[in-house]
Amino acid sequence: MKADLSQESEEILNITALTHEGIGIASRQDGKKVFVLGALPDETATVRVMKRHRRYEEAVVIELKQISPQRIEPHCQHFGLCGGCQLQHISHPDQIKFKQETLKSLLIQISQLEFSEAQWMSPLLSDNTGYRRKARIGVKWDGKKNTMYVGFRERASNKLAKLSICPILFPAVGQRLEAIKTLIMSLSIKDAIPQIEMAVGEHERPEVAQVALVFRHLKPLSTEDIDLLKVFGQENQLDIYLQPGKPGSVYQIYPILTVPEDTENLLTYSLNIDNKKLAFDFHPLDFTQIHAGINQKMINQALSWLALEETDKVIDLFCGLGNFTLGLALKAGKVIGVEGEAKLIVKAKHNAAKNQLADKTEFHVANLFDIKTLESPQPWIDKVDVLLIDPPRSGAKEVCERIERWAPNKILYVSCSPASFARDAGILLNNKNYELTHIGIMDMFPHTHHIETMALFTHKGNKRGKNGQSKGRPA
């Protein structure tokens, strides 16, 4: 539907709540809801209706008549245009409160959970600017406007926003968007670069960053183009990679020249656990947690909640390249990692060997959404003490529905989607005889509506010793 920008579409509304995506909600007298971009609860605003639907309408704020005490001045000049952040107009403490209340309401609504305040753990917090170490940055050349766009999409649009800086991206990139634009405009194929992948690792010292940019290009680069990219990398202390085709085609051109899938392409990040440093090698296109500070705290919290013993057997589902697996292996007797992407399992095995943990770990490739796989004999489906689940946004419904196959005493569930987590929690709580003992949010994506959750479920049939440690396994 085309936007209606006529004067008649403007009206004054009272905002009463926020959607889970951080959009203001107003209700007319006839009961029809209006979703207002940029509005907060307890505000009165002149809004302009942009789209009309049978049951609801979409609008934007034109003028605020009454301002919420939660509202602050966004720290990014592009907030409101760029869709990368949704909550910069809310104070950071109020963002955390909003996310906790969103998660709580979904759990009550979807899983019928009755909360005890003792279940809620303090949120994990860290830096809320310059934190993003992984990102896919859009690129588009508009010849008609003679303009280069580099950044994220506009809010509620497929168009790229015209950005000059990005305060949430790692500063080596977020503060250089204009320089990157200038670089791409100087290339002979400026109209054939659709995206740049950014990945940040560490040099030998964790405080020194190694920043990689992977330029996807749809046409061949000239020798002059490659020289310009190398010079840019040298001047800005950036590692430069090219991607001429599928992900497997990536290779590095600065500071060294590699071939696709060469081990020299790998970056590294580290975790410190009980004075032991674990080093993880990863390819710039591999999935890694975007916030290094929260990742470290997340691993520490997982180990603290689980209180593993040397005799414990642990399964780590959706293990990726071993982010949780290796920390668990420092504490438990045996940890088995399972992941659907074969290339990540290769990295997980590599990382286990690199950290002298190969003898305590085992890895398997499997589709954890495939019912036949989950119901057939597998070397990684066996009775265990602890099951760790860290699924993608779609959740782990198929695993939770068959949790008896592992019969764990404890389940640690790490989620990036409150809706799928609430659904899966309902399965464990209402159908599988588990109880929720700990839950808390992790501020992995400050200033966005994304909610990262960690929850610990314990089987009600457990027999416990004096220290609350599990002494039995559910049948």
CATH annotation of 90-128+291-475: 3.40.50.150
Known active-site residue 400: no
Quote the pLDDT of residue 157. 87
**CA-CA distance, 162 to 158, in Å (whole number)?**
13
State the maximum Cα–Cα separation within the chain, in Å, rounded to a whole number. 73
pLDDT at position 141 is 97
Question: Which one from 85, 166, 400, 416 is the annotated catalytic residue?
Answer: 416
Indicate left, alpha or beta for 274 from its phi (over 0: left) and psi (-120 to 50: alpha).
left
- In the chain, CATH 3.40.50.150 covers 90-128+291-475
Q: What is the pLDDT along the chain (475 residues), one digit of tens a residue?
A: 334 444 457 899 999 999 999 999 999 888 899 999 999 999 999 999 999 998 999 999 999 999 999 999 999 999 999 999 999 999 999 999 999 999 999 999 998 888 777 789 999 999 999 999 999 999 999 999 999 999 999 988 899 999 999 999 999 999 999 999 999 999 999 999 999 999 999 987 777 799 999 999 999 999 999 999 999 999 999 999 999 999 999 999 999 999 998 888 999 999 999 999 999 999 999 999 999 999 999 999 999 999 999 999 999 999 999 999 999 999 999 999 999 999 999 999 999 999 999 999 999 999 999 999 999 999 999 999 999 999 999 999 999 999 999 999 999 999 999 999 999 999 999 999 999 999 999 999 999 999 999 999 999 987 444 344 444 555 4
What is the architecture of the domain spanning 7-66? Beta Barrel (2.40)
Amino acid at 256: I
Please tell me what DSSP assigns to residue 458: E
Structural contact between residues 455 and 396, judged by C-beta atoms closer than 8 angstroms: no
> Which pLDDT value is given to residue 114?
82
Give me 378's structure tokens: 């597998």
Q: Is 445 helix (H, G, I), strand (E, B) or coil?
A: coil
Write the CATH number of the domain with boundaries 134-267: 2.40.50.1070
Provide CATH 2.40.50.140 ranges for the chain.
7-66
- Strand-strand pairing, 313-317 and 276-282: unpaired
Q: What's the pLDDT at 471? A: 46
CATH 2.40.50.1070-classified regions of the chain: 134-267
Walk across the sheet containing 195-202 and list its strands: 147-151, 134-142, 195-202, 209-216, 239-243, 251-254
Q: What pLDDT, on a 0 to 100 scale, did the predictor assign at position 473?
A: 54
